[in-house]
Structure 1
């Protein structure tokens, strides 16, 4: 029996958590939109049992809106996890979950001031045994996903307050996390400027999904987002000599070029896997999609030649080691579909389905997030258009062979 499904909230919120836990035992008054759609679907069309979000939320989303990574010693919550929770509650039309996740995030990671403070990236059990923020620095990928989810919630649900908060956050992101690199131009730093300093600027390609940058550029055409998108495509091409992208790279002010990251080296693994995922989910009408996929040929070539998904790659030499976990295969599903390799899609999907079937050990938090994105996109629960707008479809029709 799992003992970590409902880990206690912070001490100050413990009483509220207990009240909400008791309320959860009562019949739901207003089921979320995805549940209503499933109930209304004709026999044979209720495919929401194929969605991974309800199972993920049951394990990781607490009643107060905190998303917990039980696979870490600190039982941590991260701004990244909260941002993904906002995104998937939006995809599945769960307005109550969206509100709870946002409220917990702003109260605990933004000190109640989301219009003034970007969210701290890590919260959990501190060294003194108490609970709270562990690292106050923001993480720019989470900041983009939160702002994106707010923009799209404002648009899709006609909630201007969400749009306003998104715009306020983006002002902070531009002020604190966007920099003009000499010889390159506008770029998103992984963290605030005060942490990420030159003359060698560390960068992370997985922090800059093209669909999000396109949506932000639509919202703010005068902003840096289109230029950041162009430079992201350029960065991936320059740092992937064997078709594999590294987790981290850097921009050298002295050399006016992308170079190997001075701390992490040229390895591509748990961060880089998202770059293939984002590229695969990018709309066909996006001008950056084809160049990205052209640069990222490594995982496809490795699968075709060996049938393997690598856990770690030396991107400078193309040397691979270890077998990637199931979440890696899930993340590659949109990428393989975008490249038109349907046999590889079906082979990886069969592997993922087998490893996530009833009775199998639960995947860890991060892999389940990759599953939400990869298999969810493949099953049609959501898509992005060429402007980066979200196209949710919480109850897609069943496949013909379902």
Structure 2
């Protein structure tokens, strides 16, 4: 600690001495002497009071100058650029030389040079601190005397090694007999995967379902007949013709007759039709009494028309006669479709499959069917609908 303090003090004193020596050897800066300029101060009150007027001055009437009468006629002055006579050259007036400036101010007295400041004597360096007294080292302790070495024990004489016994000859190991390879077990033949059975269209089991199907088919026939009649009326309006007198009993249109014939064929070909009537028949699936209300012809026609409104069958179906698609549609109480409609027709080719899929999409897109009465939900909970591209074309 004392050594560091001593070194720090010596270093600071050395730096201070060097700085003082360096500052004493620097040249002194002499102030520059500038020439003085004399300035005259002139009051301007006399000049400014010349143009100042007073409100109490007297009005002096001056005589109007009289006109000068001369016999010389006045001449109109011409422009200088248009005159033809030479004009006299104006005399050159020498410029008046400016008056010499007289310095009236006394010359400045020379300033006395400042005496140089005495250089302060450097402070004497402080005496170095006395060196610390060395701590006496401890005297080394005397080493203990080495213990006397023990006498070496006599080494016993080596015992002669016994003669080596001859090793017996190794007996050859018996050669193992090759084990017979196991015969592979016969693999069982894979059983043929069971093919899914073709969906069997459900058949009506009671008279109530047959009545519902018949009502739906009648609704489709009525809708087709109404569409044909409306189209015929539009054609008659576009091409006005004299209308013949209508007979009292007007026959039905051929299109409605064809639709009715197809419905009758479907009902007659149904093999599961019941033969019992009256009170002895089987109860319906919708109500335990078997007397639930059924849809009227107009309600069934409205439902079929609503389902076919969104249907757009493929164009190729128009050139394929006899192509129809049957769907089994389950409806909720609010008229929405429950799940995906089931396809009852046999999908024999790609055209039939495309027609059935388009009918499925149409039934789902047009839902909900809010025109159905809620009190007849048992009759329209499950609906069997037949889609015929010819009905859409009509």
TM range (shorter): under 0.3
| TM-score, L = length of structure 2 | 0.19
More strand by share: 1
